[in-house]
Structure formats: C-alpha cells, structure tokens
Structure 1
Amino acid sequence: MGDQVQTLPYGSWPSPIDATLAAAHDGHAEYVGFVGEEVWWTEPRPTEGGRRTLVRRGPDGGEESLLPAPWNVRSRVIEYGGQPWAGTVRDGEPLVVFVNFADQRLYRYRAGADPQPLTPLSSAGGGLRWVDPQLRPDRDEVWCVLEEFTGDGPTDVRRVLAAVPLDGSAAQDRDAVRELTEERHRFVTGPRVSPDGRRAAWLAWDHPRMPWDGTELVVADVTDDGTLREPRTAAGGPEESIAQADWAADGTLVYSSDRTGWWNLYGLGPDGRERALCARAEEFGGPLWKIGSRWFAPLESGLIAVVHGRGATALGILDPETGEVVDAAGPWTEYAPTLAVHGGRVVSIGASPRSAYEVVELDTVPHARPSTRGGAPIGHARVIGAAQDDPVDPAYYPEPQIRTFHGPAGREIHAHVYPPHHPDHVAPGDELPPYVVWAHGGPTSRAPLVLDLAIAYFTSRGIGVAEVNYGGSTGYGRAYRDRLREQWGVVDVEDCAAVARALADEGTADRDRLAIRGGSAGGWTTAASLTTTDLYACGTILYPILDLASWGSGETHDFESQYLETLVGPLAEVPARYAERSPAEHAERVTTPFLLLQGLDDVICPPAQCERFLARLEGQRVPHAYIAFEGEGHGFRRATTMVRVLESELSLYAQVFGLNPPGIPTLELAK
C-alpha cells in the first residue's frame, strides 16, 4: 500500500481482488466428521470443474485430499443433497463410504485403492440416489436414505430408509439393498440409532409441507435381525418443525423443535418424559435444505455441542441439566450447520467478516461441566483445517455494518451493509456511491455475515453492497419466517426496496445508482422488483424462478414442487395470483437494463423459465444480456463460469452507472 490516498470516482478504484481470485475462493468446507481420531471433511475445487473432494487431517496436522478428479463427493437427493459420506475405523484402517455426484452411487473407500461401488445403477428417471449414510459395522451395512425414481417425471420418486451391504454384493443387484421402511412419508432423513442399538429415530414430512413448516420425529424399534418395527411419531406435526434429532449417551432422544416460535432443544427421556433443555428466543436449528444438517451433537459427558444464535450463530456447549450455554472463544461469528464430536472434541466450520469458513475444533476435555460464572468461555477453539489464507492484504476486505431497517407498517428488516472500502482510494467528497442490493436464495434461508470475495470484488472498486435478510428469512424466529406465507413477491420485494430507499434517504447511497441482484429465489425477487418498482437502475438475475404457474405445476423437482402452496397460496384457489406476480407474465414492465445468467443443466429452475421471459420481452428494446452456461446446474460451481459472471455483472453496472473500472471486458447488451 502506498502512503498517499488518491481520489477517484466510485467504481473506478483499482483492486487486487479480480474475478479469478474471487472464483478460486468460492465455496467452502462442509460436512465435518471423525474417522477414528482424525477429522475429515469435504472441500470444493472450483478450478477442477467445481467438484468436491474428501480431505483428511493427518496425525501430523497436515491436510490430504483423498480423491483425485473426477471423483465428486456430493449427493443429489432432493437435488440439494446433504451429508454425502461417513467413516469409522475397522481393523486399524479407515472405513469410509461416500456418494459420487456423476452416477450417484454409494462407494466404499480404502486408502491406496480405487473406490469400489456398493450400489447399482438404475435407468429409471434420475436413478438411485443416496444421502445421510450411517455406518453399522456390527451388521456390515450402511444405513441411509434411498431416493429411487420410478419414472421419467421429476415427481416420479419414492424415498425410504435402506441398508446397503458393505461387501459390495448390491453393486449389481438392486434386490440386495434391504429396505428398512415402507413409503409412509414422501421425505425422510437418515436414521440415528440409540446407544444401546434398540431404537432408531428419523425425521419425516409430506407435501405440501416443507421441512421448516412441519415435520414428524419418528421412532422405531430395531430388532435383532436389523429390521425397524412399529414406527411411531414421538413429536412434531403439520405446524411444528423438528429440524434435527439425535441420541444422548444416556438414551435421551434430543431434538430441535420450533413449537414456541424458536427452534429450541428438547429431551425425551427413556421414561417417556419430555422436557425443554434450553428455552431461549434464539435458534438451535434451521431450515433443512440439506439432509443431515447438524445444529447440535450430544457428547459422552452429557453436555451438548450446539450451533445457535439469533441472526448470527455461535458454537457453544449446553449443559442440559441447567440450561446454560457457554460459547467458544474466538473470532468466528458464524457457524455452518455441521458438527462432529469424538470424546470431548467438537468440530464445526466457522467464519467471520474477516475470514471465510474454516474447520474449527473445540476441546472440552479439561472441563466436566461448563462454568457459567461470568460467562467464561469453555475449552480452547482453534483452526485445524481449511485455514484462512489471505490471498490479498485484508485491508481490501469490506467492513460490514449490521443494520436493522423498517419497512411497511414499521416491520423490522435485518440487513448487512458493506460500504465501498479501499485502503488507498476515496471518492470525491460530493459523490455518493452506487449500491447493489443482494437478495439471498431460498427464500427460506439467510445471508450470513462472512468474508465473501465476490462482495469484496465490488466494494474494493467503490460499489456498495447491501445484503437483505427480508421477511421470510431464517434465524429470527418462526413469526419472521412466516411473514412470507402467501406473500412471496410482495414482502421480499418491499423489504429490499425499503433498505435501498433508506440508504438513499440517509445519504449512504446514490438514489440514481441503485441495482438489485440475486440467484434462485433471489433471482425471483430481483425480477419481481424490476417488474413492480421503478427504484433500481438495473438488475442481475441468476438462475431464477420467473413463471410461477409453470414452476408450480411440474417444471421443477419433487422437493419444491409444492413449495408455492405456502409461498404464494394454493394454485387451485388463487391462480390469478400466480399470474399477477410472475415476472414472465409482465415482461413489458421491465424498462431498465438487466443481466440474466442461467445454467443449462439446472433442474430446479430450468432454462425454459428464462427463455419464456426473454421471448415475451422481445420488441421491448430493453438493453439486456443472457448468458447460459453448459455443464452448470443450480448455483454455479466452475471457476471459469464465476469469472465471467462477476466480470459481466461489473460491466453492466459500469455501463448503467457511468463507472470506469479498469481492465474489465465490456458486456454487450442487446436491445
């Protein structure tokens, strides 16, 4: 850095954070687990086609990537996948199973040998898929969720719990897969077996509910021959969402329920008595987009490791006897819903505004019970994998602000505001910065406050970013989440607009240089904003939903095929609402430039949505660009794709806002 601060207009600041650098750091470690004493996890490889590999932390502390390209550890069950691997130690050697993305088969991995398939292929529809494996070495099996397509349609599918032999005998023989449950429910999670091996518990739900609307906690007896007998509902229901369940060492069934309006922990004892373990107005659970997500993990000591919080999440240790939680010390302000425990060791994945997601270990061994006097932290947390390695001087990172705004009727709106920031450059004193509102996907999700080089790509050039956790977002209780019921395309649009207007009113942002962008459900909010408001000068729409009626009647995958019944309303009862809110039905209302980005392999928001929208826009003479990427699905994973996305987006803003970013290819806008 130089000593002299230079004055240049917003959007023209030179930045060392280029698109290639941001793309190389996209994605993060996921799905931590123990294999004996070792910690393993999955990691992205954007420059290797966007695949994910298995990584182990060896005894010497070194990290080793275990599977070369093209192996890709990722499940497609419910398309969003979930826990794709499991491991233990047998005869002194790692015994690991994983799902390979390309063929969705379950494989067995041994060090030094090629992975061996455990499950067969199927030619029907999307084939056979697996997720949330639980190793049962005592039975020489792995128990998991089986998703089986019965036809070519996206909803021609069944899901059951199944046992797969570890000896490979089912690799060519579908009949060798032992089904553990009947098709009582449309959706299930993997079974968790009690410490004594006598009971199994899992979650289940049915259309039209999504798992954050209502789920059932099912418990069954495990017989001596390894079958599940007399499944029964222990908790949950149509209006109660149970996000996770697991067994404590003493046989207590612990689960996270939102029956009070917050996902809190409860314990169902062996005697059948239930009690609240920690009653708080904060979340100890979240939306189950990926099967096998973990917000808590019981320890042998009787304590429970928890990922919890309100808005942001912390890693803590809960004493279920007192209800006290003591959080781990450290710089991390956000933890992903993945946890693994071994003895007194706890492993999760944490991040902060100054660091991307890292594998973090908390050692609770020195403490039998957490001392809550004065809120002192328990144990010692440290990074043990995927450590933050600053690719540029952190002085270029954005400095976010946690803000609460107010929308219609005074309702609160949570947001993260990232002002333009550069260590060596400022703008002329009379210039206000351009701002881009980011609408997250889901929409039942949340934008975490973590270091994202895609945001830094813009802020370090002099473009502000505002991430809006609009009504419907998770992390703020069920009432906040339910604001979007039948209001999708209204509340999300209003909340994003309220934040943008407030930033302009207070003199933070230039009212004439506001943009909006988002992917998936955020792409919907962006497109809906461009067709219903005149607030934004342009927008970037990524892999969006644009046509509600088609998307809600057979054009998307099974998991979300009835999502709109709650987000918009019953299609059979309010068809006019579907048409009125769909951007594809009102393409003529778009008068500002936009960029539309789509993966051609996307089965969640298929390219047909974009194609119909563009066809209806024909003749409107609105400057726009449409870029479709071969080999990309829902959410871009390849480095080459992400480079083009960022550079095209920046070029759009440069042309519309009158900016001059150095070294950026010009996006050609058609009319």
Structure 2
Amino acid sequence: MGESVRTLSYGSWPSPVDAALAAAHDGRPDDVGFVGDEVWWTAPRPTEGGRRTLVRRHADGTEEPVLPAPWNVRSRVIEYGGRPWGAATTDSGPLVVFVNFADQRLYAFTPGGGEPRPLTPLSAVGGGLRWIEPDPRPERGEVWCVLEEFTGEGPTDVRRVPVAVPLDGSAADDRGAVRELAPERHRFVTGPRLSPDGRRAAWLAWDHPRMPWDGTELIVAEVGPEGTFQAARTVAGGPEESIAQADWAPDGTLLYASDRTGWWNLYRDGRPLCPREEEFGGPLWKLGQRWFAPLDSGLIAVLHGRGAAVLGILDPETGEVVDAAGPWTEFAPALAAHGERVAAVGASPRSGYEVVELDARTGRARVIGAPHEDATDPEFYPRPRIRTFTGPGGREIHAHVYPPHHPGCRAPDGELPPYVIWAHGGPTSRSPLVLDLEIAYFTSRGIGVAEVNYGGSSGHGREYRNRLREQWGVVDVEDCAAVALALADEGTADRARLAVRGGSAGGWTSAASLATTDVYACGTISYPILDLTGWGTGETHDFESQYLESLIGPYAEVPDRYTDRSPAEHAERVTAPFLLLQGLDDVICPPVQCERFLDRMAGRGVPHAYLAFEGEGHGFRRAETMVRALEAELSLYAQVFGLTPPGVPVLELTR
C-alpha cells in the first residue's frame, strides 16, 4: 500500500474484499480418499448453483473435475450428509460410486467410460431412499453402505441399516434387490468397516434421545459366508461414552476414539494409546468423518489438539505424536491413508482449506490440491488473537478476536470500533481459526469480529461440552454477552455499537441474545431455531428431533422451559433492529419458525428485514444468495451504527 495512511471512521474503509469475492471462496474441499495411487476429493462450486463436484489428482499433479454440472456429489442422510462417494480399482480402471444430490440415488461410473449409471431406485415415500458412505466391493459385486429409508410421510418415519447394493444395476428399479447386512437394531448407524481379513465388520450406533457426542456404541460382528453380519456385540461405548470413529489396523486390531476419560483419546482393543487432555476426535455431525487413519507400518495418522485439530503421526508403541511441519493450524476431519501416504484438508489464519499430503516416512507435507491462492492482497486479511475470557461464576470462555484491520486506513483518535459477536452453529461444534473472507469482509472495512466458542462447544473436553446441558439459551447467551462486554470494558470495542450474528443454532443464540439481554444494538439471525416447542415436536428432521431433550430438558417434564426460552414466544422482548435470513427449502430449521416469529413482531415498530431464498436449504450454498445476505448484513450495521461503507446496497428495513 502507498506511503500515506488515511484517517477514516470505522466502517467506512474501502475494501477489495467484496461480497462476491467472499462468496466465491465459500466452502472447502472435503471427503478426501485414495483411488489407487491418486488422491480424489469433493469440491464446492458456489457459482454453479452451490453444487459439489468430484476432483481427481493425476499422477502428474494435474487436477481434473470428473463430474460436470448438474451432477452434485452430496448425500442427505441425517440431512447433514457425510461421505458421499467411494471407489475401488479394477482391471478396467477406477470404479467410482457416488450419491447424486438431486435424486439421492447411488450412481457408478468409470472415468472415460460414459455417463454414470444408477444403482438404486427412487421412492415416493416420505424423504425417499438415501445412501451414504458407499464402499464398492467389486470382488463381491456389491457396494456396502448405509441406507436411510423413509417408511411414512413424517420426518421421523425412518429407519437406517447397513446394506449391500448390487453393482450390476439390478437394484436400480428394485428395492428388493438391496440386501440388508444386519437387522435394524438402532436408530442411527455408520458405515461398516471391514477387517483386513474380511471376517469382521465394525460400526457405530446410537439411539434417541442421545446425540452421537453424548453416547454411542461400537459394534463388532462376524461376517458370515453369505455376507451378512452375525453375532453382533457391543465392545465399547454406552450412554455416557461417545465413540467418534472406529477402524481396523493392518494387523487386525480395532482402533477407536472414545471420550470415556472426558477427552476423545485413541484406543486399541480397549487400551489407551496416547492418554492426553486433548481431543483425538470430535462431534459426529456427518457420517464418515475421520479423525485418524491407520498406516501400513502400524503408525496412525491423527488429528489432535485443544481448541484446534492439527495433523500428526502417532506411534502406538511409544505413545509419541510427531506433528506435520507446515503452516496449517487446523485440519478438517477428513483423513485418508494409502501405504505411508496421508491425505488431509488443512488451513490456517493466512490460508483457506487446501488438500495436503503427508509422507509418514519423511514427515514432509505439501499441498497437492485446491491450493490456496490469495484472492486479494493478504495485507487485508484479518489478524486474529486467541483469547480466553471470564464468564459468570468465573468460568472460562474461549474466543477468537479479529480487530479491524486495513493497511491503508486508520480511525480517528479516540474512536472505538463496532464489533459483531459471531455465535457458531451446532451448538455442539466450534469456530475454527482459519482464513475466512466473510470475516475479512467486515474487518477490512473497520468492523471487528469476535467468534465465541461458548460453553457447549467442542474441542475443550466433555465437561466444557456438557455446560450446555439443559442450559441452551442461557450459557451460550451469557458467554457471548460476557465476551462482548469484556471487549467494551477493556476499550477494544464501542459499547454502543455491538451486534450479534449466527446461523442455525447460532441463529437461536443471536435471537435469544436480542430477547434476553440489552448488550446488542442489532443482530443478524440466519436459518434459526426460534420456537422450541414447535421444533421439538415435529418441525425438524429425525437426527435432531430429540436433541432438545439434553439441550433444554425432557419436554414431558419441563414444557414451560421450552416456552420461556423461545424468542418466538417473547417477541415483545426484542427491541433492537434485526435481519432475518432463511432458505425456503430448509427442513432442519423450517421457514415456519421465522414466519411465526415475524407474525408476533408485526406492528411493534422494531426495524427489521426478512430475506427468504428460493432453492436454499440449511446453510447457503449459492453465490448470489451469499452476496445478497452479506451485503444486507453490512447495510444493517451501517444503518444502526451510523457507518458509511462505500458501494453497499441499502437494506430496506420495515417496522
């Protein structure tokens, strides 16, 4: 930047990080896997209707998307999906099986061998037939996976079971040709992992009202001669023990990540391999997430840490972990291994997520796919600070604080910046410390951002997660407010110009914060939960349909609590301006929740705007949607805080 630094008020700094730039870089590579010696992964295409494609990396290092539009590699099992593809090598090349989002059918194809062909039928019942974690087994002529089958029209009329789908296409129009591998014993199951000798299968299972981070069971069964699972037995886990992942080591021993000590640590046949007060696993929001991957040598690639997940190699004999050298400070739970090669997806505060390969023999890691390229001058990137704040009762609150930052602008002496408190979704999740151009969109204009990993967030052990039990709408709201007020008290933020924003569970926290505190001058509420009674009695999908039993309490015992905490029931308490954003195809937090809330806000004179988007579900994926939402959010802050951001369309607020 030039020699002179201009003095301009916070919120009016000109920035090259516009909404279109932020939208174009939304999403990350995921679902990495080896196909022979090649690394493949799924990749976002926000400018192509928000679809995800499948990318292969050839031996010469070139990348090639292998599925053109409109193919969209994404499963809707448990609505959040998970691993939507698998592959095997055959004499005629790679055999790839994937889930197509539009119809949720399984398809098979060989690159260069023509159009994908369907393997599974459609169903007119409820949400249809859905599939996840496909594992092609050409030697058996089958694909092993999990089937989610709707049995009625209601969102909870559903069963899940491990199945084998014929590779010859004979089930494309015949549900009866799909072979069930085990009886339906549990409400939720993950994809079966086959032991190296093919004689045993292992998978995870759990039942309502537990969520997988509360308690799961690790089940092992014998694989019978006809390919069905027999003599299934639980070998680990329980109502208060969460198994996050299980897999077989090359020597046939069973590896799994359990939080029986209060931290997800790694075990081999029941024995801890590296007991530490840090996480070697995480909340299983998507089926097929992988925090560890066994190597042929007996070493284990692991993701581990407190408040972050870094890539390392664990020696199970000594319990030592050697971390991969490189700039990456956060890795997604998407590990894959082949021989002594590890493929992962890593990022840092200065780089977005990229596909990384680690050679376990040399310790050398390098970017092999979706390389980060600076979309603008990195001088405009946020410069985060990792902070720990003190909340009610002296409890610790973890947060990332992103002060306003611009290489060519400063604020007038004595002016304090506005700050937006970001509440993550989940709520059993966390905000990773990685480059996010949505954050840069605000910080480069002179608006600070603080991501709060409030009590209930993952990454800090089970005790920290359990703080939110029966306290949702209390602890999360208190922790966000404590961070906001601490920033104001220390002179970092302007007390009069604080906002709160979040999506999904974060949208709930934002709305609840506006309804129960006077901390914020305004808020942005995206695809939220607003009415607990409705959401907990049939207005959401099966996976989270009983989540409130632990977050709020059993409905049959504390129905008043559901009413007391719901912003939709107490619209009169919301007096600050707000922006409400919603996808009209959202089945997790449906639009009816927003409509009910707005009906109760009508005529109350509170300035607000409601933007509803056709074709968007839970979380926005289309570039044009993200641009509209981001610009609207900035306009809200500009109007409430008295800012003058250049070139931002004015959001019309109604009363």
TM-score band, normalised by shorter chain? over 0.9
Tell me the distance in 1 between the aligned counterparts of 2:348 and 2:419: 22
Q: Distance in 2 between matches of 1:183 and 1:551?
A: 27
CA distance in 1 between counterparts of 2:460 and 2:636 reads 34
Residue of structure 2 equivalent to 1:192? 193
Find 1:301's aligned residue among 286, 297, 300: 297
1:93 equivalent to 2:89? Answer no
Q: Which residue of 1 aligns with 2:255?
A: 254
State the 1:259 CA deviation: 0.2
Matched residue, 1:419: 403
Whole-angstrom distance in 2 between the partners of 1:283 and 1:389:
30
Counterpart of 2:167, as a letter, is L
Q: Which consecutive segments of 4 or more residues in structure 1 shift more than 3 A?
A: none
CA shift for structure 1 position 17: 0.4
Give 1:371's aligned residue.
Answer: none
CA distance in 1, matches of 2:603, 2:446: 35
* Structure-1 residue corresponding to 2:338: 342
Which AA in structure 2 matches 1:611?
Answer: E
What amino acid is the match of 1:105? R
Look up the match of 2:157: 156
Cα deviations by residue, 1:160-213 (Å, 9 ceiling, x for unpaired): 000001111111111110001111000000000000000000000000000000
What's the CA shift string for 1:121-149, capped at 9, x where partnerless?
10000000000112222201111100000
Tell me what 2:389 maps to. 405
Q: Does structure 1 residue 502 correspond to structure 2 residue 486? A: yes
Secondary structure at the residue paired with 2:506? helix
- For residue 633 of structure 2, what is the aligned residue in structure 1? 649
2:139 alignment counterpart: 138
SS in 1 for 2:650: coil
Among 607, 610, 624, the alignment partner of 1:640 is 624
Indicate whether 1:104 and 2:100 are aligned: no
Q: Is the 8 A contact 1:571 1:578 kept in 2?
A: yes
Distance in 1 between residues matched to 2:70 and 2:153, nearest whole Å: 27
Larger displacement relative to structure 2 (495-504 or 356-365): 356-365
Gaps of 5+ in 1: 269-273, 367-378
User: Quick one: which amino acid aligns to residue 482 of structure 2?
Assistant: A
Q: Distance in 2 between matches of 1:21 and 1:88?
A: 37
2:443 to 459, 478, 500: 459
Alignment of 1:292-371 (within 5 A): 292-366=288-362
Report if aligned partners of 1:34, 1:88 keep a CA contact under 8 Å in 2: no
Question: Whole-Å Cα distance in 2 between the matches of residues 281 and 311 of structure 1?
Answer: 11
The offset of 1:646, in angstroms, is: 0.5
Q: Structure 2 residue aligned with 1:384, among 363, 368, 386?
A: 368
1:474 aligned to which of 434, 438, 458: 458
Who is 2:177 aligned against? 176
CA distance in 2, matches of 1:596, 1:293: 31
How far, CA to CA, are the matches of 2:545 and 2:111 in structure 1?
41
Taking structure 1 as the reference length, what is the TM-score of the superposition?
0.97
CA distance in 1, matches of 2:317, 2:471: 41
Q: How does 1:476-625 map to 2 (within 5 A)?
A: 476-625=460-609
In the aligned structure 2, how far is the partner of 1:361 from the partner of 1:477?
Answer: 28
- Cα separation, 2, equivalents of 1:248 and 1:618: 60
Aligned to 1:217: 218
Partner secondary structure for residue 47 of structure 1: coil
Q: Separation in 2 of the partners of 1:256 and 1:203?
A: 11
Q: Which moved more, 1:534-543 or 1:217-226?
A: 217-226
Structure-2 separation of matches of 1:554 and 1:251: 43
In the TM superposition, what is the alpha-carbon distance from 1:601 to its structure 2 partner? 0.1
* Residue identity opposite 2:109 in structure 1: Y
Equivalent position SS for 1:48: coil
- Per the alignment, residue 54 of structure 2 pairs with 54
Q: Distance in 1 between matches of 2:397 and 2:4?
A: 39
1:25 maps to 25
Aligned length: 654
User: Which of 286, 291, 298 lines up with 1:290 in the alignment?
Assistant: 286
C-alpha offsets along residues 220-276 of structure 1, whole Å, 9 cap, x if unaligned? 0001221111111011011100000000011110000000000001111xxxxx311
CA distance in 2, matches of 1:137, 1:264: 34
The one-letter code matched in structure 1 to 2:244 is: A
Structure 1 residue matching 2:514: 3-state secondary structure: helix
- In 2, Cα distance between equivalents of 1:526 and 1:429: 31
**Which amino acid in the other structure matches residue 390 of structure 1?**
D
C-alpha separation between the residues in 1 aligned to 2:403 and 2:138? 53
Aligned-partner SS, 1:496: helix
- Between the aligned partners of 2:536 and 2:332, the Cα distance in structure 1 is 30
TM-score, normalised with respect to structure 2: 0.99
Alignment RMSD: 0.6
- 2: CA distance, partners of 1:132 / 1:567: 29
2:130 and 2:429 mapped to 1: Cα distance? Answer: 25
In structure 2, give the amino acid aligned to 1:109.
F
CA contact (8 A) 2:88 2:137 kept: no
Alpha-carbon offset, residue 619 of structure 1: 1.4
2:104 is paired with a residue whose SS is: coil
Alignment partners' CA distance in 1, 2:57 and 2:324: 22
- In the alignment, the residues of structure 2 paired with residue 254 and residue 75 of structure 1 have an alpha-carbon distance, to the nearest angstrom, of 26
Contact 1:518 1:540 in 2 (8 A): yes
Separation in 2, partners of 1:500, 1:470: 12
Deviation digits for residues 325-369 of structure 1 (CA, Å, limit 9, x no counterpart): 010000000000001101110000000000000000001234xxx
- What is the distance in 2 between the residues matched to 1:135 and 1:340? 16
* Structure 1 contact 13–661 (Cα < 8 Å) conserved: yes
The separation in 1 between residues aligned to 2:170 and 2:379, in whole angstroms, is 56
Q: Equivalents in 2 of 1:206, 1:526: separation in Å?
A: 30
| Whole-Å separation in 2 of the counterparts to 1:586 and 1:427 | 39
Give the aligned partner of residue 370 of structure 1.
none
1:92 is displaced (CA, Å) by 4.6
CA contact (8 A) 1:545 1:551 kept: yes
**d(CA) in 2 for partners of 1:320 and 1:59?**
31
SS of 2:533's partner is: helix
Match of 2:8 in 1: 8
